[in-house]
Chains A and B, each alone.
Chain A
Amino acid sequence: MAILVDKKTRVLVQGITGREGRARAKLMKGYGTNVVAGVTPGKGGMEVEGVPVFDSVYEAIETVGEIDASAVFVPAPFVKAAALEAIDAGVKLLLLVPDRVPIHDTLEIASHADRKRAKFVGPNTLGVLSPGKAVLGMIGGRPETAKKWFNIGDIGVSSRSGGITSAISYYISRAGFGLSTIVHVGGDVVVGLPHPEIMKLFEKDADTKMVVMFGEIGTTQEERVAEMMKKGELTKPLVAFIGGKAAKEGTRFSHAGAIVEGGRGSYASKVRTLKEAGAYIAESLMEIPKIVAEVRKEHKF
């Protein structure tokens, strides 16, 4: 099963003729993703990596049939327009890759998505990858590396940092375990599917037995996951690692979206609430595979 993306997901690439869109269309196809169409206004009729390009999302759907997910690679100032177009055309899952999308644009995208019951991952995301099935976005960089780094298995990964998504998943694979789906929720303060939403999906997913989460200082995503555990909405074992222990308050670390706002969202608050809720806390990235092994033993996975 996996979450968000699998072999059958019919994928559209918006901005497919640009530098990033082109490179990532190649990655996605090479990995096995079912990329059925691309859109770049004004470039309809072209082909990129064997994928037909259309002038609009509407036209793409008219021609190739239903689209399940759209990966958006247009420059940040145009993300809102691209996203609204896809939502309007009835696409139910969007992946907003670009960094530096204005937060008010994200708010508008969110309101539109709400009305049309569409979901979005990102902005500022590396993407979603279900090992052995499909990748949406740019995790892994190239098909060869993506295949080599990530084993198929039953551990879900949800992370607020792109690099760490890959790192955790690679180290888990290297330790001999495998992954159901790995998700970079996005580095921005407002993202379409924050950790708690991803946890809901993992909880329902038959392929996922346990979850590893990478959190960061700022926002209340991790605290909310802890609440879910207390309420019994997340029953699968959770290993959590929170970055930014050494970060001083008020310092913002680039697009990590890591802002310490008063007591809320601090390293201490996240670790404490997660511990209380029964999560296994890793002190360093390298400790994760070891804790995963212990948890699996304890739960007889």
Chain B
Amino acid sequence: MARLYEYQSKEILRKSGIKIPEGMVVISPEEAKEAAKKIGCPVVLKIQVWAKGRAEIGGVKFAETPEEAKRTASELLGMEVKNFRVEKLLVEKKLDVERELFAGIIIDDYAKKPMLIFSSIGGMGIEEIAKEHPEAIVTHRIDVLEGFPEYKARELLGKLKFKGRTLVKLSGTLSKLYKAFRKSDARVAEINPLAITKEGDLFALDCHITIDDYAVYRHPEFGIEIAREFDRPPTELEKIAYKVEEKDYRGTFYFFQMVKSPIPKEKYIGFHGAGGGGSMMSMDAVLSRGFKTANFTDTSGNPPASKVYRAAKIILSQPGIIGYFASGSGVASQEQFNSARGLVKAFMEEKLDIPAVLRLGGNYEEKAIEILEAFSKFIPAKIEGYGRDDPPEFCAERLANLIKEGKTKVHKVRKIQDYTPPKGEYSFKTLTGKVSIDHRACANCTTQACVPACTYEVLKIRDGKPVLAISEEDAGKGKCTECLACELACFLHGEKAIHIYLPIPGLKEYREKLAREE
């Protein structure tokens, strides 16, 4: 669930016709002063972070004068919440509140309907209200085909004895909140408190909306960087990983850092799962052996080898890890040789320096393990491949043993070399990269192993050299599946003439920065 900041959530409400206090977003004390002047004091200043209970941690303050607003702002802007600095404040007019209410909409997974929750008491968390004043709460499940017109809201509010002007205003607000919820593809939309002022007006004093990750593509207006559940802004590496996912619809790639900089003493490993359930099970297995996971990664849904390769490169951009563990459910339906090829290419390029245990059970696991074994001699560190009959606990145990025996104890992140095409290059674009063949080397090749390796029949031999058997356009549109088979076959049996270039924008710079910081 992608969270929005309070000011963004309020913008959605405002556009739907719900009243919000006059306010401005500021990023400096000076701006806060100006804002306070414009809006008129007293004002309230609120830190804009993705955390509940801001008041308890001192993130909500009042100011009687613009000068005071400036002073308060400089305090608030220096705050750190969950390791991240507060960068934005919302300065709002302070209102004379007569009464506080609660209105929220969530999705009831079992009814498969949005559920409106309304409480005639607000200000505190809805769980607390439910506990202490259950009589104050009404709920209503909404059929999306019927919607939530005002008369339905009136029926509901009648139960809580609302009357007259308040009843009419409230039902209008609830109906509008539902429309905003639907229109913004929200998972949660909560106004708390919803305030009735001394003048009898309704205002959304605080609001919290989260957007469905899978619908973020329909809402460029929210400027969501990473459509995922984070309780903190994404890290740089996460942003790099997310770009990979964004550009390649084949399969899923998810990358989440559990720790900013892994400390080797605490036994962090790079974790590469496949599939939600299998990943969690595999994570349990390593955690219960006293390891910690530096990151959580999932490549699943039949991803191409290129995606697995990029995932491995990103995992190996974490200095300080002491092992690499890849494991999914063990009986995957996806073609596991793709994972094997992606891993092997990445490990060779990275000259892997820490042991890796790769549990690639499932469809085509025999082929996957064969690939790992054929390439293990080109990888400096020990790698072991396992299949569906080897439980994750056993594999985690193997990793523990390899780490104990291993020479290198801690992973160092390597710099990424620039790609320079060879002189005799023949190349074609793929969906996310480029296949480059050094035709000069092919002159000495006796096997021409690249062509039969390409089961997608993308390559053919012309004048003794491999070239495209299909149009460049088709190759670029995904007919070349970036399975990496040709490159690896040529590496083993040919003249090492193929290089499949799969860029990861931003990774080179990221690694250079790491090196500088060291």
Task: List the interface of chain A (C-beta within 8 A of B).
Answer: 19-20, 75-77, 99-108, 110-112, 115, 126, 138-142, 145, 149, 159-164, 166-167, 169-171, 174, 187, 189-192, 194, 214, 216, 219-221, 224, 243-247, 250-259, 262, 284-286
Contact = CB atoms under 8 A, between A and B. Distances in A.
A252 B228 contact: yes
Given A107-B114, A111-B143, A189-B107, A140 B280 contact: no
A220 B109 CA distance: 8
B158 interface: no
B229 interface: yes
B112 A286 contact: no
Contacts of B1: 252, 259
A169 B145 CA distance: 39
Interface string B289-304: 0000000101011100
User: What is the size category of the interface that chain B forms with chain A?
Assistant: 35 or more
Interface stretch (B6-14, B84-92, B327-335): B327-335
B231 A250 contact: yes
Contacts of A126: 333
Given A162-B277, A194-B110, A256-B280, A102 B329 contact: no
Given A161-B277, A244-B280, A252-B229, 16 more contacts: A141-B334, A141-B335, A145-B362, A145-B363, A161-B275, A162-B329, A164-B278, A164-B329, A166-B333, A174-B389, A190-B109, A243-B277, A245-B284, A247-B280, A251-B256, A255-B252
B494 to A, nearest CB: 28
A164 B277 contact: yes
A252 to B, nearest CB: 4
B296 A251 contact: yes
A77 B276 contact: no
A284 B296 contact: no
A246 B283 contact: yes
A220 B110 contact: yes
A163 B300 contact: yes
Contacts of A255: 252, 254, 276, 298, 300-301
Contacts of B229: 250-252, 259
Contact of B301 (A99, A194, A244): A99
A253 B296 contact: yes
A167 B182 contact: no
A187 B278 CA distance: 12
A224 B109 CA distance: 12
A286 B394 CA distance: 11
A216 B280 contact: yes
B333 A141 contact: yes
A103 B275 contact: no
Nearest to B478: A19
Contact of B363 (A141, A169, A252): A141
Interface stretch (B36-44, B63-71, B170-178, B213-221): B213-221
B168 interface: no
A255 B273 CA distance: 12
The interface centre, meaning the residue of B107, B301, B478 with most chain A CB atoms within 10 A of its CB, is B301
B515 interface: no
B213 to A, nearest CB: 8
Contacts of A243: 277, 280-281, 284
Given A189-B109, A219-B109, A258-B280, A161 B329 contact: yes
B331 A166 contact: yes
Contacts of A20: 302
Nearest to A149: B331
Contact of A101 (B110, B214, B296): B214
A145 B283 CA distance: 26
23 contacts: A20-B302, A100-B213, A102-B212, A102-B218, A111-B143, A115-B145, A140-B363, A141-B362, A164-B329, A170-B330, A190-B107, A221-B109, A224-B110, A243-B277, A246-B280, A246-B284, A247-B280, A251-B256, A252-B229, A254-B300, A255-B298, A255-B301, A286-B391
B214 A102 contact: yes
Contacts of A142: 363
A256 B279 contact: yes
Contacts of B256: 251
Contacts, number: 188
Interface in B406-424: none
Interface string B253-270: 010100000000000000
Nearest to A224: B110
Contact of A216 (B277, B335, B388): B277
A166 B362 contact: yes
Interface in B1-37: 1
B234 to A, nearest CB: 13
A244 B287 CA distance: 12
A293 B161 CA distance: 59
A75 B214 contact: no
B361 to A, nearest CB: 8
Nearest to B330: A167
Nearest to B279: A253
A107 B113 contact: yes
B187 A103 contact: yes
Top 3 closest pairs, chain A to chain B, by CB: A161-B277, A256-B276, A163-B329
Contacts of A159: 277
A5 to B, nearest CB: 16
A243 B276 CA distance: 10
B444 interface: no
A194 B279 CA distance: 21
B214 A256 contact: no
Contact of B393 (A140, A149, A220, A284): A284
A112 to B, nearest CB: 7
Given A108-B144, A251-B296, A163 B328 contact: yes
Contacts of A220: 109-110
B260 to A, nearest CB: 15
Contact of B298 (A77, A140, A253): A253
Contact of A138 (B143, B185, B333): B333
Contact of A167 (B107, B231, B278): B278
B186 to A, nearest CB: 8
A187 B276 contact: yes
Contacts of A284: 281, 391, 393
Contacts of A259: 1, 229
A102 B388 contact: no
Given A104-B182, A139-B333, A219-B109, A163 B277 contact: yes
B280 to A, nearest CB: 5
Contacts of B214: 76, 100-103
Nearest to A248: B258
Contacts of B388: 167, 170
A258 B273 CA distance: 15
Nearest to A265: B109
Contacts of A262: 127
B109 A214 contact: no
Contacts of B332: 141, 163, 166
B288 interface: yes
Contacts of B107: 103, 107, 189-190
A111 B281 contact: no
B274 interface: yes
Given A111-B145, A166-B329, A255-B252, A102 B281 contact: no
Contacts of B110: 194, 219-221, 224
A38 B275 CA distance: 28
